[in-house]
Amino acid sequence: MTTPDTIVLVHGFWVTPRSWEQWVTHYESKGFRVIAPGYPGFEVEVEALRENPQIIVDVTVPAIIEKIEGVLRELDKPPIIMGHSAGGAFTQILLDHGFGAAGVALNSAPTEGVRVVPLSQVKSTFPVLKSPANRHKAVGLSLEEWSYAFTNTFTEDESRALYERYHIPANGGILWGSVLANFQPGHQDTWVDYHNDNRAPLLFISGSEDHIMPPAIQKSNAKHYKSNTITEVKEYEGYAHLLPAQKGWEEIADYALDWALSHAR
């Protein structure tokens, strides 16, 4: 095993790589190379995506995975991969595909087969799932919806500031696809092999107050793994979905890094 020198940060929906800005600086100050790739077309800034949401509509899960795998193939040695929300599900897929020395999924979206659907998640995703027509749209959240789903433990001013800095619409088709994945035959876009013994170690980090991806989802997702590899769950009390931006995030970032370094294969 060689010690990883690179950290790849994968963002989730309704935000962009900008949502990792504090973590990039934090890890770079520790001497790591940090890469936070955007989804295909997301090479522009938040404001440009708001003005042209068709870029978001055109994104697919296979295209996202293909792009990030292209980034990973260019590295000299396996990195630590960390993903938040949908980025957590993508982190699981990337590990299953043989990439990474270790992975950390923060408040992860579920991979295929996880059927736990807490009421707070239903309410959080209702702006998209209330209409099948949203499968062909980029669907944004109002400030009120954002505050419930992402920043329910933040102050009103903090929530508004983060909404203005990070929020973009999300791809309704991918969200609908994740819901329907458990009811369709064959492997869907977020399928992983839960019996893959060659997968790198994986840590789930869960915020106890997360509404959209609550701890029950993290625990169920982790329990699906039956492979002879390391899979652990760490829960942080008082943290909401936008955990990477919540006060005290440095402690979580350091724990994630230390865990990944100590378990890197």
Integer CA distances (angstroms), 28 to 7, 31, 127, 130, 155, in order: 9, 5, 37, 41, 28
Give the pLDDT score at 144. Answer: 98
Give the pLDDT score at 112. Answer: 93
In 3D space, the residue among 17, 138, 36, 21 whose CA is nearest the CA of residue 80 turns out to be 36
Burial of 62 (0-12, 13-18, 19+ CB in 10 A): exposed
Give the pLDDT score at 240. Answer: 98
Give the pLDDT score at 209. Answer: 98
Give the pLDDT score at 184. Answer: 73
Domain that holds residue 172: 6-263
Integer CA distances (angstroms), 203 to 148, 231, 235, in order: 26, 6, 11
Give the pLDDT score at 95. Answer: 98
Rounded to a whole number of angstroms, the CA Rg of the chain reads: 17
In angstroms, the CA 79 to CA 77 distance is 6
Q: Report the CATH number at residue 191.
A: 3.40.50.1820
Give the pLDDT score at 1. Answer: 64
- pTM here is 0.96
In a domain, 37, yes or no: yes
Burial of 108 (0-12, 13-18, 19+ CB in 10 A): buried
> What is the number of structural domains in the chain?
1
Cβ(208)–Cβ(199) under 8 Å? Answer: no
Residue 54 tokens read as: 């068709």
In a domain, 86, yes or no: yes
pLDDT in 10s for each residue of the chain, 265 residues: 679 999 999 999 999 999 999 999 999 999 999 999 999 999 999 999 999 999 999 999 999 999 999 999 999 999 999 999 999 999 999 999 999 999 999 999 999 999 999 999 999 999 999 999 999 999 999 999 999 999 999 999 999 999 999 999 999 999 998 877 777 767 889 999 999 999 999 999 999 999 999 999 999 999 999 999 999 999 999 999 999 999 999 999 999 999 999 999 9
In a domain, 1, yes or no: no
| CB proximity list for 67: less than 8 A, separation 6 or greater | 37, 39, 40
The strands making up 102-106's β-sheet, listed across from edge to edge, are: 33-35, 6-10, 80-84, 102-106, 202-207, 231-236
Unique residue bearing structure tokens 């062909």: 136
In a domain, 192, yes or no: yes
